[in-house]
């Protein structure tokens, strides 16, 4: 991925100055005597194909001396000088963008990528590099860039899904790129308080072969998104409607739907921990403590306040298909929940085990920094 991104960036930025071959020449004289006009122009004309920099310098000198004239030759010289300066500015911009990108100074590279795309909106190579710069910048705390980063990432994703590939790139890994583009959109959606959209993007990220599929953070973020999108509102509604009241088909249906959410939270945290166990990234070893605490709370809620089988669940988590992020509504049914037998006492009022506390990890934007594997050095 590192070489692929570098290659497509070079292909996107290394362009030549294509300027019409006007008759030109150059003089080193700083004087504007009329008899030097032909000499300066000849230097301009003779270098237009072989040394455009020399031709440009001659053209500048010619215009300095005779630029007030409106004849055809003067207009040709003026047109060349203008195009050369525009091309030079573009080349400098691309070179600077490439340098910052290679140095992983993503917050500085991102606006330059946007500037290039303003003139070359279909340049997929620059689009991909700018989308990655946006991800790097946002996960370093530059949340103000999210709207623009999201727009560029979405367009890049649409272009790739439509079958386009970056021109001139070699060893381009489309699956990995699609994975981290969806991963980025998932992060942006969580930061913008749209957890359901985040779930869809993170789920798609995990379907592609690439770093996002095996990144513990992909699944930890899914767990957080499930809690924000479903667990918190459903748990609140359940407590308000059914705690301390007799069981009913409606209560059991609400509980069944809540259990579906909790099972997905458990699955997501188990995957995050399983992948962290095989990762050398020390950040994930630190975060694993928090994830394990969250997982334990939800697992005990679903298993009679017991952790029996939890280690086995983690060990086998990544061997199972990833559950769909869609949570179907449960129809009212007289079937009791699987752990109704744990209810203590003979009272018809039902009280569940301790409710797990939802994760607040979403405030830790610095923990979302993507792994360095697909980033150029």
Cβ(131)–Cβ(172) under 8 Å?
Answer: no
Question: How much is the pLDDT for 359?
Answer: 58
Cβ(302)–Cβ(263) under 8 Å?
Answer: yes
Higher pLDDT, 134 or 29: 134
Question: How much is the pLDDT for 2?
Answer: 45
Going by the DSSP 8-state scheme, the letter that residue 51 receives in this structure is: -
* Spatial distance between the Cα atoms of 27 and 38, rounded to a whole number of angstroms: 9
Q: Which two tokens stand for residue 151?
A: 């727009």
**pLDDT by residue (tens digit) across 210-228?**
989 999 999 999 999 999 9
Cβ(365)–Cβ(139) under 8 Å?
Answer: yes
- Report whether pLDDT(23) > 70: no
CB atoms within 10 A of CB 67: 14
The pair phi, psi for residue 331, each rounded to 5°, is: -80, 145
Greatest extent of the chain over all pairs of C-alpha atoms, in Å: 114
Question: How much is the pLDDT for 293?
Answer: 93
**pLDDT by residue (tens digit) across 144-167?**
999 999 999 999 999 999 999 888
% of the chain residues with pLDDT over 70 = 79
**pLDDT by residue (tens digit) across 226-273?**
999 999 999 999 999 998 888 899 999 999 999 999 999 999 999 999
The pair phi, psi for residue 320, each rounded to 5°, is: -105, 155
Question: How much is the pLDDT for 332?
Answer: 56
**pLDDT by residue (tens digit) across 101-122?**
999 999 999 999 999 999 999 9
Cβ(202)–Cβ(186) under 8 Å?
Answer: yes
- Report whether pLDDT(43) > 50: yes
Indicate the helix (H) or strand (E) that contains 160: helix 146-161
CB atoms within 10 A of CB 139: 21
Which of the listed ranges 27-41, 139-153, 325-339 does the model predict with the highest average pLDDT? Answer: 139-153
CB atoms within 10 A of CB 86: 13
Crossing angle of helices 174-191 and 124-138, in 10° steps, is 40
Scan for tokens 């207009």, then name that residue.
75
Higher pLDDT, 373 or 76: 76
User: Could you tell me how far CA 172 lies from the centroid of its own chain?
Assistant: 17
User: What's the full length of the chain, in residues?
Assistant: 377
The per-residue pLDDT of the chain, averaged, comes to 81
Tell which residue, 161, 23, 3, 155, has the closest CA to residue 79: 23
If 0-12 CB within 10 Å is exposed, 13-18 middle and 19+ buried, where does residue 161 land?
exposed
Tell which residue, 192, 267, 191, has the closest CA to residue 222: 267
The pair phi, psi for residue 354, each rounded to 5°, is: -60, 135
């Amino acid at each position: 991925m590192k070489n692929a991104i570098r290659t497509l960036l070079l292909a996107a930025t290394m362009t030549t100055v294509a300027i019409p071959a006007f008759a030109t020449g150059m003089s080193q004289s700083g004087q504007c005597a009329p008899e030097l006009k032909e000499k300066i122009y000849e230097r301009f004309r003779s270098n237009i194909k072989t040394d455009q920099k020399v031709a440009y310098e001659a053209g500048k000198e010619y215009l300095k001396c005779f630029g007030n004239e409106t004849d055809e030759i003067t207009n040709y010289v003026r047109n060349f000088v203008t195009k050369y300066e525009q091309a030079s500015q573009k080349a400098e911009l691309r070179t600077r963008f490439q340098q910052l990108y290679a140095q992983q100074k993503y917050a500085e590279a991102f606006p330059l990528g946007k500037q290039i795309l303003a003139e070359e909106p279909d340049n997929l190579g620059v689009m991909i590099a700018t989308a990655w710069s946006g991800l790097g910048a946002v996960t370093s705390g530059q949340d103000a860039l999210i709207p623009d980063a999201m727009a560029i990432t979405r367009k890049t994703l649409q272009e790739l899904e439509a079958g386009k590939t970056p021109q001139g790139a070699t060893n381009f890994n489309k699956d990995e790129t699609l994975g981290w583009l969806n991963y980025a959109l998932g992060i942006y959606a969580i930061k913008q308080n749209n957890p359901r959209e985040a779930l869809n993007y993170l789920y798609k990220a995990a379907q592609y072969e690439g770093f996002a599929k095996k990144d513990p953070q992909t699944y930890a973020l899914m767990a957080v998104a499930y809690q924000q999108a479903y667990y918190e509102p459903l748990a609140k509604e359940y407590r308000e409607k059914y705690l301390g009241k007799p069981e009913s088909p409606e209560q059991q249906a609400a509980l069944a739907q809540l259990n579906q959410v909790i099972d997905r939270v458990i699955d997501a945290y188990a995957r995050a921990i399983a992948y962290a166990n095989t990762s050398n990234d020390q950040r994930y070893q630190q975060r694993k403590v928090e994830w394990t605490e969250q997982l334990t709370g939800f697992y005990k809620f679903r298993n009679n306040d017991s952790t029996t089988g939890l280690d086995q669940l983690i060990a086998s988590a990544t061997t199972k298909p990833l559950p769909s992020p869609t949570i179907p509504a449960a129809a009212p049914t007289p079937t009791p929940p699987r752990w109704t037998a744990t209810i203590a006492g003979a009272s018809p009022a039902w009280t569940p085990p301790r409710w797990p506390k939802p994760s607040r990890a979403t405030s830790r934007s610095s923990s979302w920094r993507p792994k360095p594997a697909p980033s150029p050095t």
